[in-house]
Amino acid sequence: MTEPFVPGLELARLFYREIVGPLLESELSGLRYSAALIGWGSEVLGFDSARSTDHNWGPRLQIFVDDGDEDQAAVVSELLGARLPAVFRGYPTVFRASESADPPSHWVTVAGLRSWLTGELGFDPTAGIGLLDWLSVPTQRLAEITGGAVFHDGLADLTATRTALAWYPRDIWLYVLACQWQRISQEEAFPGRCAEAGDDLGSALVTARLVGDVMRLVLLMERRYPPYSKWLGTAFGRTAGGGELRPLLTAALAATTWAERQQSMSAAYEAAARLHNKTGLTPPLDPAIRPAYYDRPYQVPDAGRFVAALRDQISDDRLRALPLIGAVDQFIDSTDALGSGSRNLRRAVAAELAPPPGR
């Protein structure tokens, strides 16, 4: 029988403070290590609830040790494997990933910090973070690494790395924002065109895509890494801009006619434009919607204005010359692809950003 629900991040903090930390101190005094709960899991982003406890959830954390000392990692793993209690606060401290015959694994991961980070990101951020590094890591992964909590940082590199990854450098932020507005500019007139062609389902579908793009835009403007689809609405609801925009976007999704969708989306676009102006990243732009798509009778934000204004503020010539495809999860929309391995994503981004042959 488990105790009343405790959010996973707090459970991890208690697990370290009451069990893991004292055990390491008493048995391996002088050990240089860091302890944290970062990486995968809804609890890392603060989105877990009692429902989350039905799988891959429990008192868990990571212990990071110096890379290159496999003996040290083995000693720590052996100690924890032998001395951890079977249950903590009503939850088992081991888990089985499947019903196979594989032995259960302990919720405490022991790893070299740099090797673990490289496995998560596809590069070692302690050695510096380059342009390709930033653009090839999904925002979900960046949220996971910079979210959660550090309970002890004897290695120091963990806190420094999380600080370095906390948000994009200014020029990359400008580029990613420009690419997000570009996504909107490419489809802003399509709900009206679909409806005019008698395709109301298509109109609703494109509206839903645009709603998602606006939600991600607001998170990016507020310097928050957008999570993947399951948690996008939850994260958006916690933004300052979400208070005004959420009812407008909800109304756009609930609308049954194009005229209703256009009315709600128009108000949402104007609200997003005002949020853009509040960032101070570009000179102020008129937030009013307009019939700017050739001579067609669709009200749009003319999002290309924001693309151009943001791009004009980029000082890095290489970034200014890049195609407007953005970071990896702005042009790849597949949970499996985004979670399949960062090295594969780096290759995909590198291919997309490569100049055409002959240039």
User: pLDDT digits over 200-211, tens only?
Assistant: 999 999 999 999
Which pLDDT belongs to residue 354? 67
Grouping H, G, I as helix, E, B as strand and the rest as coil, residue 35 is strand
Q: Which amino acid is present at 63?
A: I
Report the pLDDT value the prediction gives residue 103, as an integer from 0 to 100: 62
Q: How confident is the model at residue 100 (pLDDT cuts 50, 70, 90)?
A: low
Residues counted in the chain: 359
Where does the pLDDT of residue 98 fall: very low under 50, low under 70, confident under 90, or very high at 90 and above? low
pLDDT in the model for residue 141: 93
Residue 104: pLDDT over 90: no
Give the pLDDT of residue 257. 94
More reliable by pLDDT, 340 or 251: 251
Number of helical (H) and strand (E) elements in the chain, helices listed first: 17, 8
∠ CA 116-120-121, nearest 5°, is 115
Global pTM? 0.92
Name the least confident of 73-82, 208-217, 286-295, 312-321.
Answer: 286-295
pLDDT in tens, 294-337: 788 899 999 999 999 999 999 999 999 999 999 999 998 887 77
Query: In this predicted structure, what is the pLDDT of residue 1?
Result: 43
The mean pLDDT value of the chain amounts to: 91
Q: What is the mean pLDDT of residues 148-169?
A: 96
Residue 292, Cβ density class (10 Å: 0-12 exposed, 13-18 middle, ≥19 buried): middle
Task: Classify residue 283 by its DSSP letter.
Answer: S
Res 336: pLDDT: 77
- pLDDT tens figures, 112-136: 999 999 999 999 999 999 999 999 9
Distances (CA, A) of 350 to 31, 131, 353, 354: 40, 10, 5, 6
More confident residue, 315 or 95: 315
Distance separating alpha carbons of residues 25 and 44, to the nearest angstrom: 25
